[in-house]
Amino acid sequence: MSQIQPAGWYRDPTSTYEYRYWDGGGWTERVSSGGTSGTDPNPLDPTVAVTPPAPGSAAPSQPATPPPSVQVTQSGGGGSSFGTIIGVVFAVVAVVVLIVVLVAIAGDDDSSSSSVPGTVETPVQTEAPAQEEAPATTAGS
């Protein structure tokens, strides 16, 4: 008669993994190989699933169990992060550069003219010169 083994890690009866967890009544999907635990996605054969582990097949030490899932979320306020600080620095630098460029452009507009140095501009007349009427001549005079 086979002795029922207590819950724990034993050699995997399918030999797919190094160890499989026996819950005291059947094999679970929890497996371990090389110190890394995980879940076997393939279902066990029903006859293997309830066959107790062989005596002496217990794992020498407790294999690592997978860490619990942790969802990391970013809080809406309170602390500052490195990315936020970098973003603010870039924004301040961009504003300073924009101000310098605008001041430089405004300074150039005040002192510049459209003529080439050393030339004299002649004013452009926008109205046609008034035409003088020729004196009327009389035929016969």
pLDDT digits (tens, 9 = 90+) for 38-97: 999 988 888 888 888 888 888 886 655 555 666 666 565 555 688 888 989 999 999 999
**Whole-angstrom Cα distance, residue 27 to residue 9?**
10
Statement: residue 107 has pLDDT above 60: yes
pLDDT band at 35 (very low <50, low <70, confident <90, very high): confident
What is the spatial distance between Cα 104 and Cα 66, in angstroms, rounded to a whole number?
Answer: 62
Q: Among all chains, which residue has been given the structure tokens 């620095």?
A: 89
* pTM (2 d.p.): 0.42
